[in-house]
Amino acid sequence: MRRTFESRRWVAALVAVLPVVAILGARPAHARKMTLPELLELARQVSPGMQAAAAATEAMEAQVSEARRNWLPQGDLLSILAPSPDIHCIPNKETCTSTSSPEARITDVHWTRFFTRTEVKVIQPLWDFGKISAGVEAARAGVGVSQEKQNAARADVEQYVRKAYWGMKLARDVLDMLDTGSGYVDEGQTKLDKDLEKGTGTASVTDKLRMRTVRAEVDARVLEARRGQTLARDGLRTLLGPQAPPELDVDDEDFAPVEIKEHPVTYYEDLARYNRPEARLLDYAVRAKGALADLERRKEYPDLVLIGTAAFARAQDVDDAKNAFVSHYFNSTTAGVAAALRMQLDLGPRIARATRTSAESAEIAFRRTEALGGIALEVRKAYGEVSEAGERIKAVQKGEKAAKSWISAVAQNFALGLAEARDLTDALLAFFNMRYRYLQAVFDYNIAVAALTRATGAPELSP
C-alpha cells in the first residue's frame, strides 16, 4: 500500500506540472530566435492593434485642422444654365427705363437660346466670442486622449508579449526538467527489469508496474505539451499580426528573474500618476469636456461676420430694363460687402446643452479621481506580487538545490543496489516538485514585474 501511494503521488505531481507546459510557447527546429527587446520592437511595428490606434490618432489630428479652419471664409456658389425666356418691354425697350410704365411681358421660351446666372456668397468670421478657439482646444484635448489610448494599446501589447516570452522560457525549462527526470525513470526501470529477471535485490512486480505507469504518463503529457506549444506559437503570431515571421522562438538566455531596482511602493504610485496612459488620458478627457462645455456657453452669443455677395446673369432674349428700382434677375451684374451680426435664437435649448455639458465635465473630473484610486490599488497589488514572488524564489531555491543533491545520491545508490525503488520515487517526487516550484516562482516574479510595468506606465523597470 505504501508503494502504491507513493506512485500515485508521483503521477499526481506530473499531472500538475505538465498541463502548465501545454499552454506555453514552442520551439520549432528552424525558428528565428528573438530576445525580449526584439519581440517588443516587432510588436510595436507590426501589431494590428497598434496600427489601428495610430490611425485613430491621425483622424483626431485631422479634426484639429478642421476646427482651426473655421476661421477661413465660408459661403455658397450657385451657377445655373437654362433655356432663355422671351421677355420684352411693352411697348418697347425704352419704356422699361421709365418709372411710369415699367411693364414687361413674357411671350415665349426659346430652347435654342440660353440663360445663365452665377451667384456667390462668402462669409468671413470677424469675432465669434471664442467659439472657434474653444473648439480647437477641445479637438487638441481629443488628440491627447487618442494618443494616450494608443500608448495604452502599446502597453497592453507589450505586456502580452512579455507574458508569451517568459511563458516560452518556462516551457523550455520545464521540458528540460522532464527530460532529466525521464532519464532517472528510464534508468530505474532498466534496473528493476534486470533485478526481476535475475531474481536479485528487493524489486517486485509492483515496482515494475509503477515505473511503467509513470513512464506512460510522462510520454502522454509530453505529447500534449507539444501540441499546446504549437497552439501557443500560433497565438503569438496572431498577436504580432500577418507581418510576423512564420516561425518564432525565444533566445537561449537562462530563465532567471529580471533585475529591477528596489523602491518603496510610493515610488511606483508616483510613476503611475504621471506615466500611466490611462491617468494622462483622464487628464485630457477632463480638458476636452471642459472645452466643450465652454463652447456650448459661448454659442449663446452672436457672431460678427463680414458678408460679400456677387451675381452675374445674362439671358439672350430678355430686355435689359435699366431701372434702379427693379431687381433684374435675368440681366444683371451686382456685388456688395456688409458687416453683419448673426445669431440663432434657440437660446433655451442652447442654455440647457451648456448646463448638461458642464455637469458632464464635472462628472469626468470625479471619475478621474476615482480611477486614480483604482490605479494606485493596481500598483500596490502588482508590487505585492513582485515582493512575494521574490521572497518565494529565495525560499524555494534552497529546496531545489537540496532536491538535486538528493536525487543524485539516491540514483547512484539505487544503481548499486543500496536503495529501494520507493527511495527513488520519493527523491524524484521531491526533485520535480521543488524544481517546478522554483521555475514557477521565477515565472510569477517576471510576470509580476511585467504587470507592475504596465500598472506604472513606465517604459521598463529593469535597469
pLDDT digits (tens, 9 = 90+) for 48-86: 888 888 888 899 899 899 889 989 999 999 999 988 887
In a domain? residue 149: yes
Answer for the pair 103, 95: CB distance below 8 angstroms, yes or no.
yes
SS3 track for the chain: CHHHHHHHHHHHHHHHHHHHHHCCCCCCCCCEEECHHHHHHHHHHHCHHHHHHHHHHHHHHHHHHHHHHHHCCEEEEEEEEEEEEEEEECCCHHHHHCCCCCCEEEEEEEEEEEEEEEEEEEEEEEECCCHHHHHHHHHHHHHHHHHHHHHHHHHHHHHHHHHHHHHHHHHHHHHHHHHHHHHHHHHHHHHHHHHHHHCCCCCCHHHHHHHHHHHHHHHHHHHHHHHHHHHHHHHHHHHHCCCCCCCEEECCCCCCCCCCCCCCHHHHHHHHHHHCHHHHHHHHHHHHHHHHHHHHHHCCCCEEEEEEEEEEEEECCECCCCCCCCCCCCCEEEEEEEEEEECCCCHHHHHHHHHHHHHHHHHHHHHHHHHHHHHHHHHHHHHHHHHHHHHHHHHHHHHHHHHHHHHHHHHHHHHCCCCCHHHHHHHHHHHHHHHHHHHHHHHHHHHHHHHHHHHHCCCCCCC
Which candidate, 84, 100, 81, 112, places its Cα nearest to that of 319? 84
pLDDT on residue 338: 92
pLDDT on residue 94: 54
For 416, residues 6+ apart whose C-beta sits below 8 A from its C-beta are none
pLDDT on residue 3: 42
In a domain? residue 463: no
Q: Which domain holds residue 349?
A: 2-456
In a domain? residue 99: yes
Core vs surface per residue 242-269: b (16+ CB within 10 A) or e: eebeeebbbeeeebebbebeeeebeebb
pLDDT on residue 309: 94
In a domain? residue 205: yes
Residues of the chain with pLDDT under 50: 1-29
For 200, residues 6+ apart whose C-beta sits below 8 A from its C-beta are 417
In a domain? residue 462: no
pLDDT on residue 240: 77
Residue 98 phi, psi dihedral angles, 5° rounding: -100, 140
Kindly report whether the global pTM for this prediction surpasses the value 0.75. no
Answer for the pair 5, 218: CB distance below 8 angstroms, yes or no.
no
In a domain? residue 434: yes
Could you tell me how many residues make up the chain? Answer: 463
In a domain? residue 373: yes
Alpha carbon distance 224, 221 (integer Å)? 5
pLDDT on residue 105: 58
pLDDT on residue 230: 66
Answer for the pair 90, 98: CB distance below 8 angstroms, yes or no.
no
Count of structural domains within the chain? 1
From first CA to last CA, the distance across the chain in angstroms is: 54
In a domain? residue 101: yes
What CATH number should be reported for the domain holding residue 400?
1.20.1600.10
